[in-house]
């Protein structure tokens, strides 16, 4: 049982790792270290991987089960757990199990979200006591998108995406299509035709409708499956690319409208309907655990 995992090391504690959408993405420069300066807007959706954690007393960090194409030592959840142990001198360990729902290489941030959930969950389950700022600093070396998942708030992002300002956005329903291809982020950001000098904008410009994704022209040209998905989805509204893709999305006022469009999809297109969230489901799970821990400590 999930509740028992707070005090029982033989039980699994299950946590969500939600997807994100980049509602816009501008490349406004290139840094001396080769990384790009970006402007973007992150919003979560309630489509999630599910991660299970079972605390160990022997200090070992182990992955329970295989993740196709990802060696255990390279798995971001394992790396995140070890980073937290090292930063806090924690003597505990963990078994980590991942029920993978989000596609890999889709621009939904699945691996980054899994890493963030690992940091937030183990900080609670191990009792290491880091605050959000400390966890976000620990998250950044794992990936530029990991801090936004740790913070758990929709955000305006700058730098490589790590300078975050919380924002309140409409929370529509999204139809997200998952083309049957994997887009290489490195290939997109090194492509000679990528725009790297877009004029920076303000949040107000985004709110007024500037939702350009500078990666879109390159991805559309290089990945026909993405182009086909964008063309089909555009009949229902403004079809956008999240991150470097491959996933594309459109916003709908309600769930029924999004489902109606989804039901008319052509054969061979994968995807899902999900609700936009300004507050990550991860924070709700953390609040539940904190309540359980407080209750247990009050009874001790």
What structural domains does the chain harbor? 1-300 (3.30.230.10)
pLDDT number for residue 6: 38
pLDDT surpassing 50 at residue 4: no
Q: Is the pTM of this model over 0.85?
A: yes
- Other residues' Cβ atoms within 10 Å of the Cβ of residue 275: 14
Closest by CA to 246, choosing from 272, 217, 219, 211, is 219
**pLDDT per position as a tens digit, 67-114:** 888 898 999 999 999 999 999 999 999 999 999 999 988 999 999 999
What's the gap between Cα 81 and its chain centre?
Answer: 17
pLDDT surpassing 60 at residue 134: yes
Q: Which residues does the annotation place in the binding site for ATP?
A: 103-113
- 8 Å CB contact between 276 and 45: yes
Active site residue 145: yes
Q: Which residues does the annotation place in the binding site?
A: 103-113
Residues 6+ apart with CB under 8 A from 103: 110, 178, 246, 247, 270
Catalytic-labelled residue, pool 3, 20, 95, 205: 20
Q: What is the mean pLDDT of residues 235-244?
A: 97
Paired tokens of 59: 């200090």
Sign of the C-alpha dihedral computed for residues 110, 112, 117 and 118 taken in this order: positive
pLDDT number for residue 297: 59
Catalytic-labelled residue, pool 58, 145, 205, 284: 145
The helix/strand/coil state of 299 is helix
Residues above pLDDT 90, as percent of the chain: 85
């Amino acid at each position: 049982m999930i509740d028992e995992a707070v005090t029982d090391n033989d039980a699994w504690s299950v946590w969500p790792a939600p997807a994100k959408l980049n509602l816009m993405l501008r490349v406004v420069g290139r840094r001396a270290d080769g990384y790009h300066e970006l402007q973007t807007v992150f919003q979560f959706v309630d489509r999630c991987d599910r991660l299970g954690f079972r605390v160990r007393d022997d200090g070992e960090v182990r992955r329970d089960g295989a993740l196709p194409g990802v060696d255990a030592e390279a798995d971001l959840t394992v790396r995140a757990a070890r980073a937290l142990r090292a930063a806090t001198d924690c003597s505990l360990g963990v078994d980590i199990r991942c029920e993978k729902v989000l596609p890999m290489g889709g621009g939904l941030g699945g691996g980054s979200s899994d890493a963030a959930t690992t940091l937030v969950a183990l900080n609670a389950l191990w009792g290491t006591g880091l605050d959000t700022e400390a966890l976000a600093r620990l998250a950044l070396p794992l990936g530029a998108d990991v801090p936004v998942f740790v913070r758990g708030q929709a955000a305006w992002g700058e730098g490589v995406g790590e300078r975050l300002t919380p924002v309140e956005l409409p929370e529509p329903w999204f139809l997200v299509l998952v083309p049957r291809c994997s887009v290489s982020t490195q290939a997109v950001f090194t492509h000679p035709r990528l725009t790297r000098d877009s004029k920076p904008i303000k949040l107000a410009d985004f709110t007024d409708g500037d939702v350009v994704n500078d990666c879109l022209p390159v991805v559309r040209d290089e990945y026909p499956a993405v182009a086909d998905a964008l063309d089909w989805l555009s009949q229902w509204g403004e079809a956008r690319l999240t991150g470097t893709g491959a996933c594309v999305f459109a916003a709908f006022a309600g769930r029924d409208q999004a489902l109606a469009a989804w039901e008319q999809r052509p054969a061979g297109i994968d995807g899902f309907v999900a609700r936009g969230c300004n507050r990550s489901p991860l924070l709700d799970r953390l609040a539940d655990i904190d309540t359980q821990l407080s209750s247990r400590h009050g009874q001790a």
